[in-house]
């Protein structure tokens, strides 16, 4: 928690400049569970990935930072609905009772792009 403010500030600045936020190194190579917890916390903060210093950290980091199947499915639904609404000349719209506007569309595009980069979807 002693570096929480700094970690949050990094994410905020990265998002403002539309660049990836990569979380700090986890040095205890014998604590894989702690590494995974740290990855999950970093993802919750908004980080896009984690610096790794050992090969055994790569797979858990990739798994945790990759979009889930549910996230991918929802992002694809948002993008399909957005395409339909754009064709009809509509700007912001509701999907499942929630407003969809450009920040939501961009976030969905980001999820799909990350999924493609991770080999989780074709295209």
Catalytic pick from 30, 37, 96, 101?
Answer: 101
Residues 6+ apart with CB under 8 A from 54: 29
Tokens 């990759």, residue? 66
42 class by beta-carbon count within 10 Å (0-12 exposed, 13-18 middle, 19+ buried): buried
Does the active-site annotation cover 48?
no
Contact 67, 114 (CB under 8 A): yes
Contact 81, 63 (CB under 8 A): no
Q: Catalytic positions, please?
A: 101
């Amino acid at each position: 928690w002693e570096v929480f403010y700094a970690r949050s500030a990094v994410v905020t600045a990265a998002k403002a400049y539309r660049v990836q936020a990569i979380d700090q190194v986890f040095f205890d190579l014998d604590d894989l569970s702690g590494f995974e917890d740290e990855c999950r916390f970093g993802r919750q903060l908004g980080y896009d990935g984690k610096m790794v210093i050992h090969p055994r950290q790569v797979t858990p980091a990739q798994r945790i930072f990759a979009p889930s199947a549910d996230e991918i499915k929802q992002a694809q639904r948002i993008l399909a609905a957005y395409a339909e609404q754009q064709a009809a000349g509509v700007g912001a719209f509701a999907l499942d009772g929630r407003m969809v506007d450009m920040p939501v569309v961009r976030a969905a595009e980001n999820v799909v792009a990350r999924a493609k980069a991770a080999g989780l979807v074709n295209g």
